[in-house]
Structures are given as C-alpha cells and as structure tokens.
Chain A
Amino acid sequence: MRWSNVKYLVLRRVVQLGLLFLYGAGNWWGWKILRGDLSASRLFDTVPLADPFAVLQIFATGAVVGVNVLVGAALIVLFYGLIGGRAFCSWVCPVNLVTDLAAWLRRKLLIDRIERKIWISRNLRYYLIVLALIVSAVSGLAAFEVISPITIFNRNVVFGAAALKGGVVFSFGAGLGLLAAIFFFDLFAVKNGWCGHICPLGGVHSLIGKYSLIRVKHNSDNCTLCMKCKTVCPEVEVLGMIGKRSAFVTRKECTNCGRCVDVCDDDALGFSLRNILESNKGGKA
C-alpha cells in the first residue's frame, strides 16, 4: 500500500482522534487547548467556538443566549463557509469513524453489490433540519441535541471517562447502543445511511460549506474510468463529472474527505482552491 493511497485517510483519522483526545484531555487533565465539547468549546481558553445548528435550535426554543456562543457559532460558520466546506463531517465528527467502518465492511462483504429495496432520499436531512427546529420550538428543548449521536459520542468520551490514577477509564454506557444502531443501519440497511441521508447536522454543514474555497478538482484527461472513486465516495452524486469533463466538485454535499483523491491512481483527482468566478461560469456541476 502506497502512502499516496491512504494519505488523506490517515490525516483525517489523526485529526479526528486528535481532536477527540484534546477535548478529553481538557476534562481529564485540565489541558487548556480545547475545552468543552463539540456543541460549544473554548480554544486556548480564549476563542469561543459553538455548533451553529445547536445555537439555531436554542433560538427556536425562544431562549436568549450569551454573546459567547454567538461569536463561537459565527467563527465556525466563517471557517467552514470560506475554507473548509463540509469538512466537519469527515475530519472532525467522531460518528464518521463508525459509519466509515460500516461502509468499509459493506464493500468487503459485497453487500453493496446486491440491490436493496430500502430507498431514502438524500434530501431527508434538509427536511429534518426544519423538523428539528419545529420540534425545538414546540417542546422548548433543542430537539436534535437530545438524540444527536455526534455529541453523545463526544460527551461520552470526554465526560464518561474519568481520569483515575494515571489511567483513563471509559464508561460508555447507553450511548453505545445508539452508535451500534447507526453502525448496523449503515452496514445492512442503507449505504451511507446516517451521514449521507439522515444526519441534519451534516445537512447544516452542507449548507454552510456550499461556497467554500477548498474543493476536489477532477482532471478528466487523466481519468481511466476505473471508478474506484465512486466506490469509496460517501456522497456519490457529487462525482457526476468523473470521466466526462474536468471540473471542481462543487455540490455542497461533498465532505472534502479526500478518499477519492487517495484511491485515484491516475492523478485525475486532487484538492485545489476553487476560483469562484470560474466555477460559476461552468454552471451546475
């Protein structure tokens, strides 16, 4: 296995686990690099960060929130909106570890090859954003935050673990059941079911990152139509241009995971900064 075939995969896992570790260390040993969790945190004990979707749900309940989280949410929106795109989903979110494992197993077990009858629209997540806000408004509690496997996973690692005499003991508890449910749903029921169809937080990050600069670029002159990229891509529709024309992957659902770049042996895919004017001229991709 060549380094170029796993480069972004390894980098992503390092970032994902590293962030999880830094959040954990903030609670276990009081490190001040990252404190809090993925809903809201403080970077180096000064910069506030906040999950824009959580803040939106809190707004929907009618509560007034402090300036800190507003600044935090704005910073996150700016970062992903201008630069990262939907990178949260593949580079930060811990549930991605679970769903990627399920997707990998699906390929190994050849489950992908057999056609399934369950079909879920990939737009479901956008409807669920609206539904989450409505339920939040009706019930007076941020609705997705009480079922979100993302923050439940994150919190279970950070707060479910107690630093006991040098070692870190995890007590994962009932949150494990939720992750298992997602794993088996993705493995046996719907390919990329959670991240690619249901998760409303992914929907929010798709919307935020729609016009971001960092994009995957396809060079169809080099493409040999091996279609390895389409096999590994968790949001296959975004690769509609493969082998047809050279273009940026501009659809908002692309998570910038870089797996397609990894598996491509023909140098037909790579990360690049998108020229906004050019991509607009190119029309819908």
Chain B
Amino acid sequence: MADKETKRPITPRRRFLTDLAYTAGLGIMGGLIWAGYTEKAKSSPLTLRPPAALDEPDFLKTCIKCGLCAEACLHRPSNLDRDTLKPRPGTLKMARAQDDVTIGTPFFKPRDVPCYMCDDIPCVTACPTGALDVSKVTNPKTGELDYTMMRMGLAVVDSNSCIAFWGLQCDACYRACPLMDKAIRLEYDKNERTGKHAFLKPVVSMYDCTGCGMCEKACVTEKPAIFVLPREIALGKPGAHYVKGWDKKDQQRVQERVGKDVTTHDERSSQNPMDYLNKGLEY
C-alpha cells in the first residue's frame, strides 16, 4: 500500500495546484504581516492635519506624501513675522518614522509652530491629489478662499490648570486668537472667594474655532491649559433622538426623519399605548 502511494505520479495538474497553494501560503502570510503593520501605521488619532484635509480615513487614502504642502507652508510669501519681517517657521511637518503619525503624512504641533492662517492658503492650493480639498475652504457665495472656514481641530480648555479660572488675570489665548471674540471670548464671572474680583474665563466656540493653535502657542502655563484636539476627538455626539424643542431647524429635522429610519420594537410595540400605560397600576 505504501509502495503504491510513493509511485503515484506527480501530474502537471497536481504540480500546478501545489504551486498555487505555495504562492497563496506565502502571500497570505506576507500579506497579513504587511496589512497588520499598515493598520498600525494608520492609527494616529491625535494628529492635527493641514487645513481643508479630508476626513482622516479619506485623507490617509488620498495623500501621496509628497510634502508640497509643507514646502508651500515654509516658503509662503505672505504672513511674515510682524517684528522681523522675515518668514515665520514652517507649520507643517512631514511625519518621520519616529513621529507618532502615519509616516510621510503632513501634520503640525501648535505648541511648536501653530498655523498662521494665510489668506491665500498656499498649502491647500499646492496639494496635487486633493487630499487637501480646496472646496472646504472656498466660500460658496463668493468663490474666494476663506481661511475662517478651516477646521483643523478644536481648542479645548482645561479649566483646572488654566490660571484665568483661578482668578488670575490672563487673556493670552484670547488675545492670540485670530478670530478674537468669535472663536474665543471671555466670560466674566464673580469671584466668590475674594468677593471683589472678577474671573475672565476663556470660552471656545466650536462653531468658529479653526484649530489653528495660536492660543495653544500663546498659553503661559508650563504645559498648555488650552490645546487643540482633532474635532472628532474633542466633540461629543448627542445622537439623533435628542431634539431641541426650542429650535425650529431641529424640529424640522425630526419631522423629516419620522417614519423613515426610526423603528422601535419592544414587547409592547404591537399594543396600543392606551392599553399598557395604565396596566398594573392600582388606585
């Protein structure tokens, strides 16, 4: 019996199938290791991207890692330093292997160099692939570039370490903000501890903050008490079923939504509310 087995001829078909399996085996092993590394490389959730970047997953797909945005940022003709009249340092950096950011992609660290929000937004217009999408910073009415439409992140205040919340007078972030009184405003409050002083608390508006990070750069505390986070991390989400009863637009949203994608099924769904609401109650 064993003899017969060994004498079985290796047919071309068997050879072909074995070769196929060999390739598949190596390919699957290599592919899994490779894909594992790539998945790991993708996860850099705390990264601040250049203005007008697509949503992070789409941005990672589309960015070709050429660095034209970073070069345009470094050599921008506008936005010179007011004191020295020389170009400020470049905001955008290209991630290297040791940075905790997907390798080769542009990012910035506001505490080092914030975004100065140039009128002509040279980084976005330099992008060859559309990973930085000009339409995201183009005013739909005028068709002109509008730096206030940038949404690179959102400034968040740690009220525990912000000395303005202690009662000390500091409005460094407020004054550094390019959209002063819109993106950051000061909220006045009574200082109950002393009874005669005021709090001037910085408050960020999520509707106006571009995430440029001028505030983070300007913050006087050792580790900034106001800092920029990617919007998807800094912002919560109440869920579609919470409705602002006082907001006409939100009411409209509910009207349009009813009966389309809302289906609630539980044990009592088939019953008429009149039948179960008073059940089990004793008077």
Taking a contact as CB atoms under 8 Å apart, the answer to whether B75 and A50 are in contact is no
With most chain A CB atoms within 10 A of its CB, the pick from B64, B75, B98 is: B64
Taking a contact as CB atoms under 8 Å apart, the answer to whether A146 and B102 are in contact is yes
Instruction: Name the A residues within 8 Å of B130 (CB-CB).
Output: 64-66
Per-residue interface assignment for chain B, residues 29 to 64, with 1 indicating a CB less than 8 Å from any chain A CB and 0 otherwise:
011001101110110000000000000011011101
Interfacial residues of chain B within 94-123, with CB under 8 A of chain A in the complex? 94, 96-98, 102-104
Instruction: Name the B residues within 8 Å of A63 (CB-CB).
Output: 58, 61-62, 129
Taking a contact as CB atoms under 8 Å apart, the answer to whether B104 and A66 are in contact is no
Instruction: Name the A residues within 8 Å of B42 (CB-CB).
Output: 139-141
User: A155 on the interface (CB 8 Å rule)?
Assistant: yes
* Interface size in chain B (residues, C-beta < 8 A): 37
- Residue in contact with B64 in the complex, picked from A42, A69, A143, CB distance below 8 Å: A69
Taking a contact as CB atoms under 8 Å apart, the answer to whether B65 and A145 are in contact is yes
User: A18 on the interface (CB 8 Å rule)?
Assistant: no
Taking a contact as CB atoms under 8 Å apart, the answer to whether B96 and A140 are in contact is no
Taking a contact as CB atoms under 8 Å apart, the answer to whether B68 and A42 are in contact is yes
Q: How far is the CB of A176 from chain B (nearest CB, A)?
A: 9
Given contacts A36-B67, A146-B41, contact A61 B75 (CB under 8 A): no
Q: How far is the CB of B86 from chain A (nearest CB, A)?
A: 12
Instruction: Name the B residues within 8 Å of A54 (CB-CB).
Output: 64-65
Instruction: Name the B residues within 8 Å of A184 (CB-CB).
Output: none
Taking a contact as CB atoms under 8 Å apart, the answer to whether B128 and A68 are in contact is yes
With most chain A CB atoms within 10 A of its CB, the pick from B35, B37, B38, B41 is: B38
Taking a contact as CB atoms under 8 Å apart, the answer to whether A155 and B96 are in contact is yes
- Residue in contact with A139 in the complex, picked from B35, B67, B75, B96, CB distance below 8 Å: B35
Quick one: closest A residue to B58, CB to CB?
A63
Q: How far is the CB of A65 from chain B (nearest CB, A)?
A: 5
Interfacial residues of chain A within 225-256, with CB under 8 A of chain B in the complex? none
Q: How far is the CA of A50 from the CA of B66 in the complex (A)?
A: 9
Q: How far is the CA of A69 from the CA of B74 in the complex (A)?
A: 22
Given contacts A159-B94, A178-B97, contact A50 B34 (CB under 8 A): no
Q: How far is the CA of A35 from the CA of B127 in the complex (A)?
A: 12
Instruction: Name the A residues within 8 Å of B60 (CB-CB).
Output: 140-141
User: A14 on the interface (CB 8 Å rule)?
Assistant: no
Taking a contact as CB atoms under 8 Å apart, the answer to whether A155 and B67 are in contact is yes
User: B27 on the interface (CB 8 Å rule)?
Assistant: yes
Taking a contact as CB atoms under 8 Å apart, the answer to whether B74 and A27 are in contact is yes
Instruction: Name the A residues within 8 Å of B23 (CB-CB).
Output: 127
Taking a contact as CB atoms under 8 Å apart, the answer to whether B38 and A143 are in contact is yes
Taking a contact as CB atoms under 8 Å apart, the answer to whether B129 and A66 are in contact is yes
User: A138 on the interface (CB 8 Å rule)?
Assistant: yes
User: B71 on the interface (CB 8 Å rule)?
Assistant: yes
User: A269 on the interface (CB 8 Å rule)?
Assistant: no
Taking a contact as CB atoms under 8 Å apart, the answer to whether B104 and A151 are in contact is yes
Instruction: Name the A residues within 8 Å of B93 (CB-CB).
Output: 159
Instruction: Name the B residues within 8 Å of A143 (CB-CB).
Output: 34-35, 38
- Residue in contact with A127 in the complex, picked from B27, B68, B71, CB distance below 8 Å: B27
User: A75 on the interface (CB 8 Å rule)?
Assistant: no
User: B154 on the interface (CB 8 Å rule)?
Assistant: no
Taking a contact as CB atoms under 8 Å apart, the answer to whether A146 and B38 are in contact is yes
- Residue in contact with A158 in the complex, picked from B57, B67, B102, B103, CB distance below 8 Å: B67
With most chain A CB atoms within 10 A of its CB, the pick from B58, B70, B104, B127 is: B104
Taking a contact as CB atoms under 8 Å apart, the answer to whether B129 and A58 are in contact is yes
Quick one: closest B residue to A55, CB to CB?
B64
Q: How far is the CA of A156 from the CA of B23 in the complex (A)?
A: 35
With most chain A CB atoms within 10 A of its CB, the pick from B34, B60, B71, B128 is: B128
Taking a contact as CB atoms under 8 Å apart, the answer to whether A135 and B31 are in contact is yes
Per-residue interface assignment for chain A, residues 74 to 108, with 1 indicating a CB less than 8 Å from any chain B CB and 0 otherwise:
00000000000000000000000000000000000
Per-residue interface assignment for chain B, residues 256 to 283, with 1 indicating a CB less than 8 Å from any chain A CB and 0 otherwise:
0000000000000000000000000000
Instruction: Name the B residues within 8 Å of A132 (CB-CB).
Output: 34
Taking a contact as CB atoms under 8 Å apart, the answer to whether B96 and A156 are in contact is yes
Quick one: closest B residue to A131, CB to CB?
B31
User: A41 on the interface (CB 8 Å rule)?
Assistant: yes
Q: How far is the CA of A105 from the CA of B12 in the complex (A)?
A: 43
Q: How far is the CA of A151 from the CA of B96 in the complex (A)?
A: 11
With most chain B CB atoms within 10 A of its CB, the pick from A48, A72, A143, A145 is: A145
Instruction: Please report A residues at the B interface, Cβ cutoff 8 Å.
Output: 26-27, 30, 35-37, 39-42, 48, 50-51, 54-55, 58, 61-66, 68-69, 72, 127, 131-132, 134-136, 138-143, 145-147, 151-152, 155-156, 158-160, 173-175, 177-178
A-B contact pairs, 18 of them (CB 8 A): A27-B67, A50-B66, A62-B61, A131-B30, A132-B34, A134-B31, A135-B38, A139-B42, A141-B41, A145-B65, A146-B41, A151-B65, A151-B104, A152-B97, A152-B103, A155-B65, A158-B67, A159-B94
